Amino acid sequence: MKSLRKSNVTATIIKNMAPHKEREDMDKLTYASATALAQSIRAKEISSEEVVDAYLQRIEEANPQLNAVVQLTADAARAQAREADAALAKGHIRGPLHGVPMTIKDNIETTGVICTGGTKGRASYVPKQDATVVARMHDAGAIMLGKTNLPELGLTFETDNLVYGRTNNPYDLSCTPGGSSGGEAAIIAAGGSPLGLGNDMGGSIRLPAHFCGIAGIKPTTGRVPRTGHFPWPGNWLDMLWQPGPMARFVEDLVLVLPIIVGVDWRDPSVVPMPFGDPRMVNLKSLRVAFHIDNGIMSPSREIVEVVKKTAKVLSEADMAVEEDLPSGIEQSYEIFFGLLAADGGAGMETLLHMVGTTEMHPWTNGLLEVCRATAMTTADFTRLMLKWAMFRSSMLSFMRKYDVIICPVCAYAAPPHGGTLAADRIPAFSYTMTYNLTGWPSVVVRGGTSPEGLPIGVQVVARPWREDIALAVAQNIETILGGWQRPPL
């Protein structure tokens, strides 16, 4: 299994597979990295059709227990795989993902395939155009297997809605995979997809990556177009969220991110910044700060141990590592939820009305009640925006001394279903909210395991526009600490 992570040995392993795919042979495909699969398809050591069939079979096995894939596009995927193989036979390679399967979160629009955003008003909505990120993945040769589940409007840290129901964690079906990209994280971890696309406003890529033991990145604000996402971009919350890739292995984030970045001439927030190559980063030159407690909610003992272990291995890799906490970071939770609730839920209610949703999930109702109770006056909102600006300035000043921050993703590992919803538990997610507020790139990679056998991720944060550094450090952590581990499902 592990050998497939290294693309230089993948060719030999895949070449020697029996034509009738025993269980072990199928596992070698479905637990390989997307990078390895792409190389083997291009080398004609295995066909795209064989790869797609293996993943569809794995979805058929695992999804009844997970409820992660909510729209399966099996016929279209097989047809596209045959087309990819035929093109390759003629010497045509569409792009770096030629013939590689993927999944897409169900709030990212896909031509001809239902995109609900988890809300009943869009239960039968079929987009006529791909989101920019989906179009770019298709142009690079990727093949969609299906759409994955999320909470209504992507607004909670668990994955459940009135259209498709609840998604389960592949490491423990009684636990949540997180949200809002919980369906993506669950099916990727379980071997039903090598990679996928999610989005992150308060931790929606990184938290499910942590709960499900995979890798994911929230890029710098303004790096990736949000055209074709639902809810649509707009208002002051624009600065909080970004689309990004999710996969079992960091090398696949490195492969996918350059494909989806850059101006699309539709999303005005995108900045045409150069994108660095993680392979060119000199790890020994990096200055690393780590912290284990942000002063909002203390993490569990095992979370603390994993962050400390990560700091230790980076120090042993000759990086300059010291424990340091940014001044003012304890404001993260107050500022984030102030921004979310500032309009008293008016924006959320307008959105639900626009799409025709009249019956909401209880969690959506609960969030609206909180927002209505905390609506701000114009003066209060002005003060909040000033506070946010000062927070961002203070955090940036801290980063002058460092290239990287290592910290928890959440205060605990994946809880039982419903375990994220109590008011006294929600501050646990402030560790990701911080870096939505700053807009900096942040990668999550598995660093350890809880006593219950649940994954524990670590968060790797870099300066703005330095995804290359965050990815390089995350890949180093993955190599030393093991990264993704196969679930028992």
Task: Give, as one character, the DSSP assignment of residue 232.
Answer: P
Token match 């058929």: residue?
Answer: 60
Contact 363, 401 (CB under 8 A): no
**Could you identify the residue written with the tokens 């066909």?**
47
* Eight-class DSSP state of 222: T
- Known catalytic residue at 105: yes
Sole residue written with tokens 């770096």: 96
Query: H/E element holding 218?
Result: strand 215-218
Of 186, 48, 36, 38, the residue nearest 106 (C-alpha) = 186
In the numeric block, the tokens 């791909």 are attached to 130
DSSP-derived secondary structure for 51-98: HHHHHHHHHHHHHHHH--EEEE-HHHHHHHHHHHHHHHHTT---STTT
Check: CB of residue 363 under 8 Å from CB of residue 297: no
Residue 397 catalytic?
no
* Ordered domains of the chain (ranges, CATH): 2-481 (3.90.1300.10)
Whether residue 432 contacts residue 206, with contact meaning beta carbons closer than 8 Å, is answered with yes
Rounded Cα distance, 358 and 356, in Å? 6
Identify the active-site residue in 40, 47, 48, 180. Answer: 180
> What pLDDT is attached to residue 20?
53
Determine the 3-state secondary structure of 35 from DSSP: helix
Cα(first)–Cα(last) distance of the chain, in Å? 16
269 annotated active-site? no
State the catalytic residue, choosing from 105, 120, 147, 218: 105
pLDDT tens for each residue of the chain, 489 residues long: 333 333 443 444 444 544 555 688 889 999 999 999 999 999 999 999 999 999 999 999 999 999 999 999 999 999 999 999 999 999 999 999 999 999 999 999 999 999 999 999 999 999 999 999 999 999 999 999 999 999 999 999 999 999 999 999 999 999 999 999 999 999 999 999 999 999 999 999 999 999 999 999 999 999 999 999 999 887 889 899 999 999 999 999 999 999 999 999 999 999 999 999 999 999 999 999 999 999 999 999 999 999 999 999 999 999 999 999 999 999 999 999 999 999 999 999 999 999 999 999 999 999 999 999 999 999 999 999 999 999 999 999 999 999 999 999 999 999 999 999 988 999 999 999 999 999 999 999 999 999 999 999 999 999 999 999 999 999 999 999 999 999 999
**Which one of 33, 40, 193, 204 is the catalytic residue?**
204
* ω into 180 cis (within 30 of 0): yes
